[in-house]
Amino acid sequence: MTFNNLTWLDLLCLTGVGVYLVKKVVIKKNLIPYPPGPRGWPLIGNILDIPRTKPWVTFTEWGEMYGDITHIEVLGRHIIVLNSVKTAVEMMDNKSIVYSDRPVLPMSGELVGWKDSLPFLPYGDLFRQQRKNLHRVIGSRAAMGVYNEIEEAETHQFLKRVLAKPDRLQGHVRHTVGAIVLRISHGYEVKENDDPFIDLANRVTANGSEATEPGAFLVDILPFLTKVPAWFPGAGFKRIAREWRGTLEEMVSAPHEFVKDQMAAGIAPVSLTSNLLEGGVSAKEDHAVKWSAFSLYAGGTDTTVSAIYSFFLAMTLFPDVQKRAQAEIDAVVGPGRLPSFADRDSLPYTEALVKEVLRWNVVLPTGFPHCVAEDDIHDGYYIPKGSIVLPNIWFMLNDPRTYANPSQFNPERFLAKDGKEPETEPRTTCFGFGRRVCPGLHLADASIWISTAMSLAVFDISKVVENGVELTPEVDPLPGTASHPKPFKCSIKPRSATALGLIEQDTNY
């Protein structure tokens, strides 16, 4: 049941608001005001103001009208939207103990079953255990260095796939990112074609992005709908959730059992899962390991896929940027080999290009909802316990107060020039805030960088010409918690015979 097809059941449920109001006879009167926001309706509050698609656009409009903090209320649940990095840092970083909880998400967390994964866990012991598990493996750039060889080898295979079938770019990106994460999380080497875990994981991440999009399912606004039986007219969301839950449970369990079987046979390669299971674990610990490994996959794939696909879109649209980055790589790396992580510090423009990709096409436009653990007063406004807090990351990375001409794709904004300081580092924003910052940020950053450097070294990326007409891709991010560029066509060809040789060569990674 979505907002796009409201049924008589929805209206029946809205009448149930009366039951809620009976329980709320006495309304707490606060001398301290809530943050400003659109005026709600009697009984239902701002339920009609919740955007159905691309919520970051509506949130940006609210920011223009009401300032950096916007407040709405839906059936007694307070929702706070943040429209500046400064405010997000003050609240979610500086007061992280207050702003690090997670709300209960009825559709994705309870019905689909994501509640045991790290992004959904409430702040507490289980959350800290999973973060500790992931930090051991990918918690810093230095820790990620152990996996540089895997990243380089899988990205080289990506180049070969793109060379063979350039019209399947997005599929190649998904395959490669999945292959890298599964090697790290479970020691699993994916098959070149029709890999069962890759197919399963792609469905799980797509379902998860759809299930968590703000305003997509009415049950997230009216949680009592979770009690409606699946056969009831209009309760199609229950049937969707049951299907998605089965896919999720298979993705969580199947790779975990694969590692256990390999360990029993004495042939398990080193991975997050095998390391954590070494020496035996209790049932509770086994559960935590299983979901930690899945959380690594869930947090490190869909977002990275979106960013790499956005890179190819940017290179299609901005050939001058591509040429400058290629000139830098040619000068530093030379024609005889592919770039490696050892070259990263010597490629400042390429580094700036990666930053601009992350800023220009924001992967998580509204972040992931935080929940307030206790009453707070911020900037003279009352923020009640239990409020949902949504950072409008899209606007933060397109805020003209922070980025000059934000609609322009310009990597130079991140380079010091003529005594002028670089503009604000986007990676401090796009990966979230406080104790909920993405634990896979170093993995995602490494994957995006090596894909960018290797692809630029050997490919020319340009617009497709059909029937004598040059096709310009549309820049239109798709809805979803993890937003992807709309599918587009581009031409991808080897830069030279030497580049072709580098793609086709066998390497000993």
Domain presence at residue 181: yes
Please give the helix or strand (H or E) that residue 410 lies within, else none: none
Q: What is the Cα–Cα distance from 32 to 30, expressed in whole angstroms?
A: 5
Q: Are 341 and 148 in contact (CB under 8 A)?
A: yes
Whether residue 13 is annotated as binding a ligand: the answer is no
Determine the residue type at 441. Answer: L
Domain presence at residue 509: no
The predicted structure's pLDDT at residue 313? 98
pLDDT tens digits, one per residue of 122-170: 999 999 999 988 888 888 888 888 889 999 999 999 999 999 999 999 9
Q: Which residue has the higher pLDDT, 25 or 275?
A: 275
pLDDT band at 30 (very low <50, low <70, confident <90, very high): low
Domain presence at residue 163: yes
CATH code of the domain in which 263 resides = 1.10.630.10
pLDDT tens digits, one per residue of 205-255: 889 888 888 777 888 878 888 888 888 887 889 999 999 999 999 999 999
**C-alpha count within 13 angstroms, C-beta hemisphere, residue 263:** 19
| Helices (runs of H) and strands (runs of E) counted in the chain | 19, 10
The predicted structure's pLDDT at residue 225? 87
Lowest mean pLDDT among 64-78, 224-238, 355-369, 415-429: 224-238
Structurally, the chain folds into a number of domains equal to: 1
pLDDT tens digits, one per residue of 181-204: 999 999 999 988 889 998 888 899
Dihedral sign from CA coordinates of 178, 181, 183, 186: negative
Q: Is the pLDDT of residue 12 over 90?
A: no
pLDDT tens digits, one per residue of 307-349: 999 999 999 999 999 999 999 999 999 999 999 999 999 999 9
Q: DSSP class of residue 381?
A: E
Domain presence at residue 297: yes
Domain presence at residue 494: yes
Please give the biggest Cα pair distance in the chain: 77
Residue indicated by tokens 């959380």: 295
Please give the helix or strand (H or E) that residue 461 lies within, else none: strand 459-462
Q: What is the Cα–Cα distance from 278 to 275, expressed in whole angstroms?
A: 5
Segments forming the whole domain that contains residue 158: 3-504
Secondary-structure breakdown of the chain: helix, strand, coil percentages, each rounded to the nearest 5: 55, 10, 35
Q: Are 440 and 139 in contact (CB under 8 A)?
A: no
Q: Is the pLDDT of residue 23 over 60?
A: no
Q: Is the pLDDT of residue 16 over 70?
A: no
pTM (predicted TM-score): 0.88
